[in-house]
Structure 1
Amino acid sequence: MAEKKLKTLLVFKYIDEFSDEAHPLSTSQIIEMLANEGIKCERKSIYADVKTLKEIGYDIVSIKSPINGGFFMASRKFEIPEVRLLIDAVTSAGFITPKKTQSLVEKLESLVSKNQANSIVTQVYIDSSTKCDNEEIYYIIDALHKAIQDRKKVKFIYKRRNIDVENKKNYTEKTFTVSPYALIWKDDHYYLICNNQKYNNIMNLRVDRIRKVNTLDESARPVGEVSEYKNSFDVADYSKKMFNMYSGKSDKIRIACELELREQIMDRFGAKVPLSAYDSSHFETTVDVAVSDGLIAWLMSFGKKVRVLEPQYLADAVKERAQQIAKLYE
């Protein structure tokens, strides 16, 4: 009986791993695979196993053909485009080390057949030069996540690269004690949104630069004490307002943009962002954002195609930045 149950499980394993619509697995192939495991069986027992697997919900298709007959898994929890999307996300994520990237990609490959996985992997490229080297990253993310759930402060070391004359790779380490509120993946980096206990505001720290996380018994500060979010931290709203993950005071800004920028503005602020005519060649919009150096850099990236209408202090800041840049080239 034990061998019979094992055989059924192995039949499922073989069909799940090695078959797809383009590569059905024949009865002879399954019998040969079972024989390699020391299990001998007849063809009709394979049909019985497949019938049992179908009865409990697996979408296995039988092809009756003397040339390319057999069985294949017709549907899976993840389709090929979905797995490809996940693999692309993992390979492009800078906070995942090359070693962990490879491990995650291999796990994602197991969601489809081996033939399908091979077709995906041939298109995958991992650029190790853009990846972090923090092999503690999983532990750090887990520890921070638990601290956020338990509303506890955390203490850790924050590591930054130094700039020196000889261009040697050395780092400065600084100890932070913070109240953590959220983890955000933005601009291909993972950030911890938190409050440094020395100040009354929110800051963003790169998770890949965090080391040696220690969760404290001390309760985290309520987010309403250090931000505009009085009851709970609104991750989506905060992420939408941030530019290059620079924190700043939230304010409404009104900008005039050339007509060709409507897609870029909707990509940044969402399809529901208000767009109204300003003149024959420009539209205007009003959005609520965090005013910061990141916002100024983003506005200036469009050159003369975007102009700040309100508030005046932001228009003056952009003008001053432009003048400073112009002086560098005089």
Structure 2
Amino acid sequence: MELNNNTRLLILQRILFEETDENNELSIAELSRKLRKYFNVEKEFDARTLKNDMNVLEDLGYEIMKNRGKFGKVYYSFQDRLFETYQLRLLNDAILSARFINEEEKKSLIKKLGKMTSVHIARTLPDPLIFSQMTANDYDQIKINIDHVHRAISDERVIYFKYGKYNMDKTFEYHRNGDEYEVEPYALIWQNDFYYLIGWFKKTKEMRHYRLDRIRDIRISEQTFEKGDFNVQEYVNQSFHMFSGENIRVEIEFHQSLLNVVLDRFGLEASVKKIDDEHFLLSTEGKMSTGLVTWVLQWGHKARVVSPRALKQEVEEEIIRMKSLYEELENRS
């Protein structure tokens, strides 16, 4: 790059952005040395010129911090970041924990995140290699689906796609004999390590959700729709483990040791009532589903359904089936 007033200002801004932060500052002499190295010139940069350049940057809204060190020496740094360090860490960890993102893409995304801060802070972000990786074979398909669903939601357009799952032979099988699903897309959410499309399934006239990695041949139609009154958060809260079913009022008695588990799941606004020193009662809205039954059973003897009777009966019958299964295995041996 040719050295002139414009390029000098540009590279000075880049040096301040990439190499300084609240814990790393540079003096005029150090800034001059880095500029000389970048432009491969021997001549020192005039201190007054560099100070004037920084004044120009500040006039343009680029806030530069000045800190007086030992013997009155002044150090400069740029600290007005788009993301705080903790926010970068949140984004970094979210990327690393996403099972559907393959290792190569994780490295690429984290590298880009690092460019949003100084090189010093970027080096403190975790390396993808220290996390257990799960390569998604259908990742390319997921990227396409995310793009299409996002645009369809934004433009309020009906989408068509095929849907299915893998069988025992690890072959993908389509539902509904491969017929297309016609859906009005309402939301795209990330739940339980997977992306889900929430939308109005026009055939059955009900709100449903679909795992994005199981969607194939998606296309956006020219047909538009108007979103009805729908609370996405309420839907997610009621859809235990993303299973659908009839809305019901649920009361479950828990051992007090599971209080924080319940609050983590339902939030501090959850309706919990102390029964005695060892138990409390949860009252909430849920969906009558195998997902809810499985969720209750995972807590063993520390959770007991109080109502509705239909759910209580489902749990009891599942316990009997589990008991019979183990008795059958025991009789074989």
What TM-score bracket applies, with the shorter chain setting the length? 0.7 to 0.9
Match of 1:227 in 2: none
Assess, with a 3 A threshold, how the Cα gap between structure 1 residues 122 and 95 changes in structure 2: closer, same or farther.
closer
Aligned partner of 1:299 in structure 2 is: 296
For residue 216 of structure 1, give the secondary structure of its aligned residue in structure 2: strand
Task: Choose 49-58 or 286-295, whichever is displaced more.
Answer: 49-58
1:270 corresponds to 2:267: yes
C-alpha distance in structure 1 between counterparts of 2:7 and 2:136, whole Å: 42
| Larger displacement relative to structure 2 (122-131 or 198-207) | 122-131
What's 2:51 paired with? 47
TM-score (norm 2): 0.85
Aligned to 1:249: 246
**Where do residues 46-125 of structure 1 align in structure 2 (5 Å cutoff)?**
46-65=50-69, 70-122=75-127, 125=130
Distance in 2 between residues matched to 1:29 and 1:193, nearest whole Å = 54
d(CA) in 1 for partners of 2:70 and 2:46? 18
1:200 match: 205
SS where residue 318 of structure 1 aligns?
helix
Q: TM-score, normalised by structure 1?
A: 0.86
Deviation larger for 269-278 or 250-259: 269-278
In the alignment, what sits opposite 1:228? none
Structure 2 equivalent of residue 178 of structure 1: 182
SS of 1:85 mapped into structure 2 = helix
Q: What CA distance in whole angstroms lies between the structure 2 residues aligned with 1:133 and 1:104?
A: 18
In structure 2, relative to structure 1, the CA distance for the partners of 1:59 and 1:124 (3 Å cut) is farther
Q: Secondary structure at the match of 2:219?
A: strand
Shift of 1:236: 0.7
Task: Report if the CA contact (8 A) 2:163-2:181 is conserved.
Answer: no
Q: Distance in 2 between matches of 1:322 and 1:22?
A: 59
Q: CA deviation at 1:238?
A: 0.6
Q: Give yes or no for contact 1:96–1:132 (8 Å, CA) kept in 2.
A: no
Verify: 1:282 aligned to 2:279, yes or no: yes
How big is the shift at 1:305?
1.1
Q: 2:150 matched to 1:145?
A: yes
Deviation at 1:130, TM superposition (A): 5.3
1:219-268 alpha-carbon deviations (Å, 9 max, x no partner): 45x77xxxxxxx42211101111111111111101111112222222211
For 1:119, give the aligned amino acid.
Answer: T
Listed as ranges, the gaps of 5+ residues in structure 1 are 224-230
What is the match of residue 25 of structure 2?
A: 24
| 1:128-161 CA-partner distances (Å, limit 9, x unpaired) | 3254542243332121122223332212243532
Deviation at residue 81 of structure 1 after TM alignment: 1.2
CA gap 1:29/1:259 in 2 versus in 1, 3 angstroms: same
Shift of 1:103: 1.9
Give per-residue Cα distances to partners, 1:25-65, cap 9 Å, x unaligned. Answer: 33334323333236763222111112222333333223444
- Residue 213 of structure 1 is matched in structure 2 by 218
CA distance in 1, matches of 2:200, 2:323: 36
Separation (CA, whole Å) in 2 of partners of 1:93 and 1:240: 21
Secondary structure of residue in 1 paired with 2:190? strand
CA distance in 1, matches of 2:5, 2:70: 27
Counterpart secondary structure, 2:161: strand
Question: Which runs of 5 or more structure 2 residues have no equivalent in the other structure?
Answer: 328-333
* CA gap 1:100/1:136 in 2 versus in 1, 3 angstroms: farther
Q: State the secondary structure of the residue aligned to 1:329.
A: helix
CA offsets 1:277-297 (integer angstroms, 9 cap, x no match): 334432212111112111111
Contact 2:96 2:128 (8 Å CA) reproduced:
no
Q: Counterpart of 2:16?
A: 15
CA distance in 1 between counterparts of 2:127 and 2:243 reads 37
Contact 1:78 1:111 in 2 (8 A): yes
Contact 2:162 2:181 in 1 (8 A): no
Aligned residue in 1 for 2:195: 190
Relative distance call for 1:306 and 1:198 in structure 2 (3 A) is: same
Give the aligned partner of residue 331 of structure 2. none
How many matched pairs? 317
Higher alpha-carbon deviation: 61-70 or 261-270: 61-70
After superposition, give the CA deviation of every residue in 1:291-326 in whole Å (9 maximum; x if it has no partner).
211111111111111111111010000001111111
Give the direction of change, closer, same or farther, for the CA distance of 1:191–1:181 in structure 2 (3 Å limit): same
Deviation of 1:126 (Å):
4.5
> 2:158–2:221: 8 Å Cα contact kept in structure 1?
yes
Retained in 2: the 8 A contact 1:155–1:175? no
